[in-house]
Structure 1
Amino acid sequence: METSIEIEVRPTEIDVMGHVNNAKYLEYMEWGREDWYNKVGLPFDEFTGMNIGTVTVNININYRKEARLGERLTVNTVPLRKGRTSYVLRHVIDNERGERVADADVTSVTIDLKTRKSVPVPDALAEPFEK
């Protein structure tokens, strides 16, 4: 399942170069992941109820074009692949002109909240990767 959110670039997200600070793109992608989890029926409390946490272990991000104050950005999130204890979500950020601003593959691992050790991806999370 692919999801999409829209963001308007705010003054607090701009750096001294006059464009979105590189770290803000990671936040935009995190918002996209949270939206994806919610739309596939796995809000935070569902994970907690399963005694499962998700930990980001790798992000490979490509900064393609600067975004500036007031621009509207769309963050698309799509499941890419799933392993035994890890999975990858792809984020693509485009501006209102349809130009690619940034994209990234984000690898996360599922962990047992008590032991803090990796565990197999639960069926409820694996399902969106199989469609």
Structure 2
Amino acid sequence: MVCECRLTVRTYECDSYGHVNNANYLNYLEYGRYELLRAVGFKYPEMIASGYGVYVARIEIDYKKAAVTDDELLIRSWPIKKGAVSGVIQQRILRGDDIIAEAKVTWAFVDSRGMPIKIPPEWDLPGLKPDKT
């Protein structure tokens, strides 16, 4: 499953060169991952209330082109790996046909102490697994 969401670059996200500061891409990617979780039926607030969490363990980002104020960006997110405790989500930020950035985000399911644990069955949703195609 590929989840898509859109956003518009805001002025305060840009640096003195006039393009999006590299750190703001982390926010864009987080927004895309949250929308992916919602799309597969993952109720994030309920998971937190149950004493669990999903932590980012690693992010690899390749910056391809600059984005600037008022650019309309599309964020695509899809799972590429899933284990008993963790997984990897591939993400791509686009402006039209231009790839702005690509990322691989490794996540881990954790308990209330922040320790990695096997994903409980109620949170181990099919949409977290990569498509077989």
**TM-score (norm: length of structure 2):** 0.89
Match of 2:116 among 115, 118, 125: 118
Distance (whole Å) between structure 2 residues aligned to residue 106 and residue 17 of structure 1: 27
In terms of mean alpha carbon deviation, does 32-41 or 47-56 score higher? 47-56
Amino acid in the other structure paired with 1:38:
R
Structure 1 counterpart of 2:14: 14
Distance (whole Å) between structure 1 residues aligned to residue 59 and residue 86 of structure 2: 13
Contact 2:78 2:130 in 1 (8 A): no
Distance (whole Å) between structure 2 residues aligned to residue 125 and residue 92 of structure 1: 24
Distance (whole Å) between structure 2 residues aligned to residue 91 and residue 68 of structure 1: 19
Distance (whole Å) between structure 1 residues aligned to residue 120 and residue 80 of structure 2: 16
**RMSD value, Cα:** 1.5
Structure 2 counterpart of 1:39: 39
SS of the equivalent of 2:65 reads coil
Amino acid in the other structure paired with 2:72:
R
Structure 1 consecutive aligned stretches of length 4 or more whose deviation exceeds 2 Å: 48-51, 121-126
Distance (whole Å) between structure 2 residues aligned to residue 90 and residue 122 of structure 1: 23
Q: Post-superposition shift, 1:85?
A: 1.1
Question: Residue by residue, what CA displacement relative to the aligned partner does 1:48-83 show, whole Å, maximum 9, x if unpaired?
Answer: 254320110100000000111111000001011012
Structure 1 counterpart of 2:67: 67
Distance (whole Å) between structure 1 residues aligned to residue 43 and residue 63 of structure 2: 29
Instruction: State the percentage of identical aligned residues.
Output: 30
**TM-score (norm: length of structure 1):** 0.91
In terms of mean alpha carbon deviation, does 104-113 or 43-52 score higher? 43-52
Distance (whole Å) between structure 2 residues aligned to residue 117 and residue 105 of structure 1: 22
Amino acid in the other structure paired with 1:117:
M
Structure 1 counterpart of 2:98: 99
Distance (whole Å) between structure 2 residues aligned to residue 38 and residue 125 of structure 1: 13
| Structure 1: segments with no counterpart, 5+ residues | none
Distance (whole Å) between structure 2 residues aligned to residue 90 and residue 130 of structure 1: 10
